[in-house]
Structure formats: C-alpha cells, structure tokens
C-alpha cells in the first residue's frame, strides 16, 4: 500500500503552497464552466481539492500498481515483429489503469472530456509516474501532443482528435528528429507535398528516434516549401497510423526500455496541415518542445526521487564497522547533497510550471479577445519568463537526476552495480533526460538570452523582498550578494561582444543564475515551513563556492581555449 | 441497461494497518482508532459488477447498512463507476449481528425492486464471518454461489460463474436472480478523476441536514431546496430508515441479534518442529497411534 503522492511531503507541500489561485481562475475562466459541466470546480478551494484528490488517485496507482511492475517491464520491454510494435502486457495494464482513472487528458478542456487541470498538476502526475516507471512517462507524457493540437489545431481537428486523447483511445507521437538532423531541426528534410487538384497533403521521408512512433496520431515536422533549407520552410502536420507509415525498427537503448523508440518511413502518408504553413518549427514545434521540456524535467525529478529513496533506505540498513553506513560523514554528505538538489530541482520545476500556466492563461485570454491592457502586459511578461525558466529548469533537473542516480549506485557500492537492485535501472533511465528534447548544452543556448537580458530580475526582486527574519534574512542577503556579482558577470560578457566567449561562458552564467533563483525559492519555502530551513541553508552555503568558481572563470576573460582547443583535442 | 446488479458493501476499520490502540480493553475493535475503509472483497464484488456493466450494460446499485458516515464508501463506489447508491441507516439498526444484518439487507433488496444479481464480497475484514451474503440469499429464497472468481456469462434468467474450490475451481450455472459472493480474484479499477470531481458532491439527506446545523428548522425551506437540487443533478444518495424498508423491529439491530460474545481471547499460534511421516500404511498407523497416545485423537 504505497501512495506516491501522500508519502511525498515535498510534493504535497508544493501543491498546497504554490499559490495556483490565479492559474486556476484563468483556467476555469472565473469558474464559469461549473454552470455547464458537473465536474468543473466552482471556486479555487474546490479546484485545489480536486487537484489533491486526483493526485492521490494517481499516487496510489503509481505506488500500488505501476511500480511493482516496473522491473519486469524494464527486463522484457516491447516487442517488434513484422512491422508491428506490441507493448509489454504490463505496460498495457499500466495504461489501462491510468485510462480508467481518467487521467489521459489532464490538461484538455472540459468540452473535450478533459480535466482542464493546469500544467503544474499534470507535471506532478508526470513526476509520480516516472518515479514508478521512468519509461511509462514517455507514453503518459505524450499528452503534450493533444495540448499542441488544442493550442494550434483548427476547431475541426480539435473535435476530431481531442476527445479520443482524453478517453485514452488515441495515443500520440511527435515526429521531429531525422537520421541527419537532431539538434539542428531547422534542416529537417521530410517532404510534404500537396496534390494540387484535391488539396490533400502527403508526407515522404524518414524519421528516427521517435518515442512511441507506433502511435495512432502523429505530429510531424516536414518541409512544405520546396527549395527552402531553413526553419521557415517547415510546417506541422497531423498524420494517422496507416499502411504507408511504416515502422522500420525499434531501437535497443541503454534505458527507458518500456517504451518503443521507432524509426519511421513515410511513403506518401496522407496528412493534414496543423496551423499555418511555415510556422511549423518556429512556433508550433517550439511550443511543443517547451511543453516536453517541462515534462522531461518532471521525469528527471521522479526518477531521482525513486533513486534517492532507495539510497536512503539502503544506507540506513547497511551495516559496516558495526554502524549503519548513513552515520559516516562521507555517506551523509552524499545523501544530504542528493536531497537538497532534488528539493531544489522540484522547487524550480514548479515555479516553472506555474509561470507556464500563467503564460498559457494570459495567452488564452488574449486569444479570446477578453484581455485588458494589463492582461496583455502580463502575457508578455510570462511568455518571457517561461522562455528562460523552462530551459534553466530542464538543465538543472536532468543534470541533478544524473548525479543523484549516480550517487545512489555509489551508496549501494558493489550491490548497486548488480541488476538485483533498482538503482542501476534508475541510472540508465535518467541518462536520456539531459539528452532528449534538447541536450543540456542546447538548454543553455535557449536560456542564455534571458539571463543576459535579466528577464528573471523582476521575480528575483519580488522573492528577495519577502519578509525574511533571522537566519533566513541573512541567507537572503548572501544570495543577493551573489546576484550583484551576477549582474557584473553578465555585463562583463555582454560588453565583450565576443560571440565565442559568450557561448563558452553561457553555461557558467546560466548555472550562476540558477544558484541565485533557486536559493530564493528555497528560502521562500523555508519561510512557510520551518523544517525546510536546513535544506535552504545547505543550498545557499554550497552555492557560494560553486558560484565563485564560475564567477572567476567568467571574469577571467581567458580566451585561450578558443584559440588552442584543437591543440588539446588533437594531441 | 438490460440488467440490474445490486452490490452490498460495508465500511470497515482498516485492520491491515493496526496501530497501538486498535483494541479496547474489553477486547473489541476500537473503531475510532482505525481508519474506515471500503471492505477489500466488496471492492472485488463492485469490480465484477462494473465488468458486467461494461460487457452487458447493467445498472449497478450499491447499498450499505451502516452509520451515516458510511456514505463515504458509497461515494467511493460512485467514483469507480456505480450508477446509484443507497444507505440504510437507523439508530434501531445498531448492534446487529450477521442474522439481523442479512435480514435488514434482504428487506433493502426487496424495497429496491427487481434485480438480476446481488453481489457481495465473500467476507468483511472486521468480523471475517462470511455469513451475511449467504444469509441474504436464504432470506430472499434465491440461489447462492459463493467464492466466485468471475462471471463467465450472463443472460436473462441465467448466469454462469467460475468459483474457487479447494485445489482448483468449478464452473456453475444458476438461474437468476441469484446471489454471488466474490473473492479477491480481480484487480478493482481505480477511482475515476472525472467521476470523483462530480460525485464528491453527492450527499445523503442527513449529511445535507448536518451542514444546516442539524435541526435548524428555520432553514427547512433552504434544506428542501438543496435536496431537490441534488436529486435533480443525480447527486442525492438515497437513504432508508428501518421503517422505509418495512423491516420488522424485532428482527433488526440489537433485539434481532441472538449472537452473544461470550469471551474474547488472544490466541497466539506457535509452530513446533515439523515431523515427516512416510506415506505408507505403516507410517500412517504409527502416526495414528502417536496421536491417540498423546490424546490428540480419541
């Protein structure tokens, strides 16, 4: 009897202290849906009660059903024969449980049979599913595809696909990567051509590394404008499973074994244009990927949570030199480091989802033509902040998950290297999170603009001006000292006007920003809950030397690596 | 909806999560100290009913006898997919043993009208008697099929079930209406988010009254209105008193319960060393002599 929501005090704290008042009210359009739908909430208290209760349902499914099946799913995985992918029977059962719980259309509007929940609550489910079975998240998390159709599809497309997604009848895949183009999506070549007489579009070409590529509904990035070579010649299409869409093989991967990663061949597959031509990559896929980046951050936090718990349990039970090993400084140092990083990543994750929810809410308000000038300003603000927090969050959460799962094996010693324990699986599953949906290196590229432009400063000031007392006030001052130095470092790089130096220092600058921003979030939470003060303090005290190291590097103006990297690499 | 399936369920103290003060000094269950849960095998019965609903289209009516707080398990049944819920509650029902309980529930079944099947969990985890289901069948004079694992088929007037027997199973056919007691042989479906968001508002009349400060008669009109509104939206959990189900006052509650608890003992089973006996006539003869000589037999 395990409940992955109720047993996770940090998650419960986060939900109930995140302040989703504005988010829920935007989402429910001032609770007007309650007139029309008998399951729509009538007030914020009602909505929050729904979030808590539904998370409890999902937490129970994750703890009691999905987690016990996860080892077998990892060992046996899906099956591929004669062009057909068959999921493991336990994966099928997992999906059936989630479908019966009615959580396959969490973010979809009431009118399509969805729960109309915010991204924040959906991400909490994502996290719990990943803690139970990292690979299942890759199927459960594809709800972003339905969300993308709901953002950009025509009313007809929404009517056709969204109810099926909400009921669990449809599953989806996002077909972006090609054999020759991964990070460089603007060079995608899969060709879309239109029959001039009927207006029907067809897709031709190859896609690779497609998660759940055996899905019923595919969102496909394709080149619709002949003769173009950049991102502006790409459009987004909806294609359905059909004989012309061939699964050529499924990949043998290091981790996330439960989900099929497919190579797809498109042989004149009929497709519908989704949204406007030429906006495929620059608008729709960017939106889709940003949604997926949040989901992967949730996946990383979930896997790390599972690994941390195993490590903590093992360290408290394993006796060496007549003591449990968690009493040795070397081990409790590792364990507290893991816990602090995990809590930090979760704090940034839900600050990010809340910002994304507010962005979505104000985007929607503007689109419906109901926005005031004030609403428009907020829309602009939240779009800007979401754009920097999303990659910052993915970088932190996924690198953290790698570190935590690595340390979890380390704490287990030789035992952890064996298949008999779960930590080796968590380590394998975590390894993809800082690669797909954009590597950490690309997250830095996405975040650095906002860091240089100081897009987080409004929020940083807001958080710093909270009424901290005593130790928390002193820690806040420490963080704000770092912030002052961050402004210097940013100015130093900007004034240099050297693109190579800017790119080389980008990761340091983004990480320095993360130390500051997350420090304030943890202090805010410590103010609300005294037991969290030690975690916030540890984060800030550890952040100081980490920050200084990067600060020294940025301020050194050292360009030798730009000049002599070949000498080093080629020696 | 061609079939009607009644499911009788019970709210029980969670005896699987025992805390220190789970027993009173008198040796009875301290209900206040234990969380109240849906009796596990009743969830299996509900799941079986919902599978029949999925397969054949059935109206699933869930009923319980209990305190007003037992409405909570009825709501949980609605979250899982039951169509209607009925609470039988009355101070006169307190202190019922299995005889009085089964009589009360049989009256409830009669009151609810025509049905094809009654499903009960095999037994409740508080008393573990497994008597109530079969006794209801006796009182309604309908066939009983116990230890059911699955329903193979259901048609008008006939049901085929598979049930567990020692060392295997058997397949039985029975005319309907019939009563089935169900064992832990399926995985009950999870609660459904959308149903929960709707039916968390479902209430019994006494719960509504309680939210109106019990007997504040000045608000009677508002109370009536709220009840009507709930009923219109399908959110009113029906509530029956002993009188509503035409129960004989002498056969319900404490007066209708001949069971007397004579003594409660804490029995500690201790295992001693095992001894193997060769499976020969000689071995068995030796064993019997040994059992006679230490007075286990005879």
Report pLDDT digits (tens) over B107-165.
999 999 999 999 999 999 888 899 999 999 999 999 999 999 999 999 999 999 999 99
> Of residues A329 and B283, which shows the higher confidence score?
A329
> Of residues B286 and B169, which shows the higher confidence score?
B169
Tell which of A209, A244, A277 closes a domain: A277
Task: Give pTM, 2 decimals.
Answer: 0.92
Q: Is A115 exposed, middle or buried (0-12, 13-18, 19+ CB in 10 A)?
A: buried
- CB of A40 within 8 Å of a chain B CB? The answer is yes
User: For chain A, how many structural domains are there in total?
Assistant: 2
Q: In the A/B pair of chains, how many CB contacts fall below 8 A? A: 46
pLDDT of residue A246: 96
| Domain presence at residue A272 | yes
Reply yes or no on whether the pLDDT at A553 is more than 80: yes
Residue-wise pLDDT for A498-519, tens only, equals 999 999 999 999 999 999 999 9
Residue-wise pLDDT for A429-458, tens only, equals 999 999 999 999 999 999 999 999 999 999
- CB of A466 within 8 Å of a chain B CB? The answer is no
**Do B1 and B57 touch, CB atoms closer than 8 A?**
yes
Reply yes or no on whether the pLDDT at A342 is more than 70: yes
Say which of B17, B193, B233 has its CB closest to residue A54. Answer: B193
DSSP chain B: --EEEEEEE-EEE-TTS--TT-B-TTSSB-GGGS-EEE-HHHHHHHHHHHHHHHHH-EEEEEEEES-GGGHHHHHHHHHHT-SEEEEE--GGGTT--HHHHHHHHHHHHHHH---SEEEEES--TTT----HHHHHHHHHT--EEEEEEEEEEEETTEEEEEEEETTEEEEEEEESSEEEEE-S-S-PPPPPHHHHHHHTT-EEHHHHHHHTTTT-GGGHHHHHHHHHHHHHTT-EEEEE-TTTTT--GGGSTTTT----------PPP---------SSHHHHHHHHHHHHHTTS--
Residue numbers of the domain that contains A551: 456-564
Q: Which residue of A has its CA nearest to B230?
A: A38
The SS3 assignment for A173 reads strand
pLDDT level of residue B32 (50, 70, 90 thresholds): confident
- CB of A323 within 8 Å of a chain B CB? The answer is no
Reply yes or no on whether the pLDDT at A228 is more than 70: yes
Q: Do B190 and A49 touch (CB under 8 A)?
A: no
| Domain presence at residue B216 | yes
- CB of A118 within 8 Å of a chain B CB? The answer is no
Query: Contacts of residue A52 in chain B, CB cutoff 8 Å?
Result: none
| Domain presence at residue A382 | no
- Chosen from A1, A6, A38, A143 to mutate, greatest number of chain B CBs within 10 A: A38
pLDDT of residue B214: 56
Residue-wise pLDDT for A144-156, tens only, equals 899 899 999 999 9
Mean pLDDT along residues A77-83: 94
Quote the CA–CA distance of B47 and B62 in Å, as a whole number: 12
Helix or strand (DSSP H, E) at A251: none
Q: Over chain B, what is the mean pLDDT?
A: 90
Kindly report which listed range (A14-23, A34-43, B263-272) carries the lowest average pLDDT score: B263-272
Query: Contacts of residue A1 in chain B, CB cutoff 8 Å?
Result: 16-17
Quote the CA–CA distance of A490 and A454 in Å, as a whole number: 9
User: For chain B, how many structural domains are there in total?
Assistant: 1
Reply yes or no on whether the pLDDT at B271 is more than 80: no
pLDDT level of residue A216 (50, 70, 90 thresholds): very high
Neighbours of A17 (CB within 10 A): 13
Q: Look at residues A444, A416, A431 and name the one whose alpha carbon lies nearest to residue A304.
A: A431
- CB of A53 within 8 Å of a chain B CB? The answer is yes
| Domain presence at residue A253 | yes
Mean pLDDT along residues A315-323: 96
Say which of A38, A49, A60 has its CB closest to residue B198. Answer: A38
pLDDT level of residue B35 (50, 70, 90 thresholds): confident
pLDDT level of residue B30 (50, 70, 90 thresholds): confident
pLDDT level of residue A127 (50, 70, 90 thresholds): very high
pLDDT of residue B265: 77
Query: Contacts of residue A113 in chain B, CB cutoff 8 Å?
Result: 194
Cα–Cα distance list, A402 to A302, A398, A517, B88, B111 (Å): 12, 6, 21, 56, 62
Q: Do B191 and A50 touch (CB under 8 A)?
A: no
Reply yes or no on whether the pLDDT at A482 is more than 60: yes
Helix or strand (DSSP H, E) at A287: helix A286-317
Residue-wise pLDDT for A264-298, tens only, equals 999 999 999 999 999 999 889 888 889 999 999 99
Instruction: Tell me the CATH number at A250.
Output: 2.40.110.10
- CB of A50 within 8 Å of a chain B CB? The answer is yes
Cα–Cα distance list, A301 to A308, A404, A425, A438 (Å): 10, 10, 15, 17
| Domain presence at residue A264 | yes
pLDDT of residue B217: 57
| Domain presence at residue A167 | no
Say which of B17, B187, B190 has its CB closest to residue A57. Answer: B190
Reply yes or no on whether the pLDDT at B23 is more than 90: no
Distance from CA of A183 to the nearest CA of B (A): 38
Say which of A39, A57, A103 has its CB closest to residue B198. Answer: A39
pLDDT of residue B276: 82
| Domain presence at residue A59 | no
Question: Which structure tokens are listed for B91?
Answer: 């101070």
Residues present in chain B in total: 298
Quote the CA–CA distance of A225 and A245 in Å, as a whole number: 22
A68-88 as b/e, with b when 16 or more CB fall inside 10 Å? ebbeebbeebbebeeeebebb
The whole-angstrom distance between residue B110's C-alpha and the CA centroid of its chain comes to: 17
Quote the CA–CA distance of A517 and B62 in Å, as a whole number: 53
| Domain presence at residue A391 | no
Query: Contacts of residue A115 in chain B, CB cutoff 8 Å?
Result: 193-194, 197
Tell which of A257, A277, A297 closes a domain: A277
pLDDT of residue B272: 75
pLDDT of residue B28: 65
Residue-wise pLDDT for A386-438, tens only, equals 999 999 999 999 999 999 999 999 999 999 999 999 999 999 999 999 999 99
Say which of A1, A38, A101 has its CB closest to residue B193. Answer: A101
Reply yes or no on whether the pLDDT at A203 is more than 80: yes
| Domain presence at residue A538 | yes
Query: Contacts of residue B192 in chain A, CB cutoff 8 Å?
Result: 100-102
pLDDT of residue B211: 77
Mean pLDDT along residues A82-109: 96
CA angle, A216 as apex, A292 and A71 as ends, to 5°? Answer: 65
Instruction: Tell me the CATH number at A535.
Output: 1.20.120.470
Mean pLDDT along residues A160-188: 92
Reply yes or no on whether the pLDDT at A173 is more than 80: yes
pLDDT level of residue B260 (50, 70, 90 thresholds): confident
Cα–Cα distance list, A94 to A52, A258, B45 (Å): 21, 11, 22
Residue-wise pLDDT for B169-220, tens only, equals 999 999 999 999 999 999 999 999 999 999 999 999 989 888 776 555 566 7
Q: Do A38 and B191 touch (CB under 8 A)?
A: no
Q: Is A565 exposed, middle or buried (0-12, 13-18, 19+ CB in 10 A)?
A: exposed
pLDDT of residue A72: 97
Q: Which residue of A has its CA nearest to B79?
A: A101
pLDDT of residue B33: 77
Instruction: Tell me the CATH number at B221.
Output: 3.40.50.620
- Chosen from B193, B200, B236 to mutate, greatest number of chain A CBs within 10 A: B193
- Chosen from B17, B190, B196, B200 to mutate, greatest number of chain A CBs within 10 A: B190
Tell which of A277, A309, A335 closes a domain: A277
Residue numbers of the domain that contains B103: 3-251
The SS3 assignment for A367 reads helix
Kindly report which listed range (A174-183, A444-453, A548-557, B143-152) carries the lowest average pLDDT score: A174-183
Query: Contacts of residue B189 in chain A, CB cutoff 8 Å?
Result: 97, 100
Reply yes or no on whether the pLDDT at B64 is more than 60: yes
Kindly report which listed range (A217-221, B38-42, B207-211) carries the lowest average pLDDT score: B207-211
């Amino acid at each position: 009897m395990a409940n992955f929501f109720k047993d996770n005090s940090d998650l419960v704290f986060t939900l109930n202290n995140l302040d989703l008042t504005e988010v829920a009210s935007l989402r429910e359009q001032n609770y007007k849906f309650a007139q029309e739908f008998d399951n729509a909430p009538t007030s914020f208290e009602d909505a929050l009660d729904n979030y808590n209760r539904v998370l409890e349902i999902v937490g129970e499914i994750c703890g009691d059903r999905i987690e016990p099946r996860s080892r077998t799913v990892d060992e046996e995985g899906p099956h591929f024969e004669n062009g057909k992918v068959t999921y493991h029977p336990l994966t099928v059962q997992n999906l059936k449980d989630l479908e019966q719980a009615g959580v396959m259309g969490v973010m979809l509007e009431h009118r399509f049979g969805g729960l109309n929940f915010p991204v924040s609550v959906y991400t909490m489910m994502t996290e719990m599913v990943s803690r139970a079975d990292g690979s299942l998240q890759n199927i459960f998390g594809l709800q972003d595809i339905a969300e993308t159709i709901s953002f950009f599809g025509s009313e007809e497309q929404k009517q056709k696909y969204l109810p099926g997604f909400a009921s669990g009848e449809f599953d989806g895949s996002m077909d972006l990567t090609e054999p020759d183009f991964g990070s460089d999506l603007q060079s995608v070549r899969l060709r879309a051509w239109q029959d001039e007489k009927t207006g029907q579009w067809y897709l031709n070409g190859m896609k690779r590394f497609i998660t759940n590529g055996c899905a019923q509904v595919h969102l496909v990035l394709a080149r619709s404008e002949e003769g173009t070579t950049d991102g502006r010649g790409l459009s987004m299409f909806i294609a359905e499973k059909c004989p012309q869409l061939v699964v050529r093989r499924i990949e043998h991967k290091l981790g996330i074994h439960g989900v099929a990663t497919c190579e797809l061949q498109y042989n004149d597959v009929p497709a519908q244009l989704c949204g406007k031509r030429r906006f495929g990559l620059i608008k729709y896929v960017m939106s889709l990927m940003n949604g997926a980046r949040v989901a992967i951050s949730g996946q990383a936090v979930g896997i790390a949570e599972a690994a941390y718990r195993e490590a903590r349990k093992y360290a408290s039970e394993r006796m060496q030199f007549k003591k449990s090993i968690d009493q040795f400084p070397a081990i409790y140092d590792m364990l507290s480091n893991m816990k602090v990083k995990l809590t930090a990543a979760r704090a940034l994750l839900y600050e990010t989802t809340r910002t994304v929810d507010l962005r979505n809410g104000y985007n929607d308000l503007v689109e419906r033509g109901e926005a005031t000038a004030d609403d428009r300003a907020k829309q602009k603000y939240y779009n800007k902040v979401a754009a920097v927090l999303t990659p910052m969050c993915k970088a932190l959460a996924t690198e953290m998950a790698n570190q935590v799962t690595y340390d979890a094996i380390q704490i287990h010693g030789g035992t952890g290297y064996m298949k008999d324990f779960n930590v080796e699986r968590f380590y394998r599953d975590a390894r993809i999170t800082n690669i797909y949906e954009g590597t950490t290196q690309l997250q830095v590229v996405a975040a650095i603009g906002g860091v240089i432009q100081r897009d987080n400063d409004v929020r940083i000031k807001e958080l710093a001006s909270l009424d901290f007392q005593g130790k928390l006030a002193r820690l806040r001052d420490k963080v704000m000292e770092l912030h002052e130095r961050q402004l210097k470092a940013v100015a130093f790089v900007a004034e240099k006007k050297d693109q190579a130096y800017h790119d080389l220092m980008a990761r340091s600058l983004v990480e320095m920003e993360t130390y500051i921003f997350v420090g304030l979030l943890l202090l805010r939470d410590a103010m609300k809950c005294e037991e969290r003060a030690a975690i916030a303090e540890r984060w800030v005290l550890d952040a100081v030397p980490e920050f200084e190291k990067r600060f020294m590097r940025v301020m050194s103006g050292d360009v030798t690596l730009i000049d002599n990297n070949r000498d080093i690499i080629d020696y | 909806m061609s079939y009607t399936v009644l499911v009788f369920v019970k709210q029980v103290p969670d005896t699987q999560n025992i805390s220190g003060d789970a027993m009173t000094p008198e040796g009875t269950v301290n209900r206040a100290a234990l969380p109240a849960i849906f009796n596990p095998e009743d969830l299996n019965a509900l799941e079986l009913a919902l599978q029949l609903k999925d397969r054949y289209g059935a109206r699933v009516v869930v009923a319980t006898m209990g305190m007003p707080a037992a409405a909570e398990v009825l709501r949980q049944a609605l979250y899982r997919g039951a169509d209607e819920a009925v609470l039988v509650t009355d101070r006169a029902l307190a202190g019922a043993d299995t005889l009085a309980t089964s009589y009360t529930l049989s009256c409830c079944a009669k009151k609810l009208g025509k049905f094809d099947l009654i499903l009960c969990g095999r037994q409740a985890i508080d008393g573990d008697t497994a008597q109530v289901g079969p006794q209801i069948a006796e009182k309604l004079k309908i066939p009983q099929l116990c230890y059911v694992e699955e329903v193979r088929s259901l048609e008008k007037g006939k049901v085929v079930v598979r049930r567990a027997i020692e060392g295997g199973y058997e397949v039985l056919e029975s005319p309907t209406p019939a009563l089935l007691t169900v064992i832990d042989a399926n995985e009950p479906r999870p609660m459904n988010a959308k149903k929960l968001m709707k039916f968390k508002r479902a209430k019994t009349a006494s719960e509504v009254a309680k939210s109106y400060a019990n007997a504040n008669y000045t608000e009677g009109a508002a109370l009536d209105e709220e009840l009507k509104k709930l009923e219109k939206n399908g959110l009113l959990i029906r509530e029956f008193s002993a009188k509503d189900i035409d129960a004989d006052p002498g056969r319900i509650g404490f007066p209708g319960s001949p069971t007397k608890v004579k003594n409660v003992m804490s029995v500690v089973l201790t295992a001693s060393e095992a001894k193997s006996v060769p499976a020969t006539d000689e071995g068995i003869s030796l064993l019997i002599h040994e059992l006679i000589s230490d007075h286990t037999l005879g």
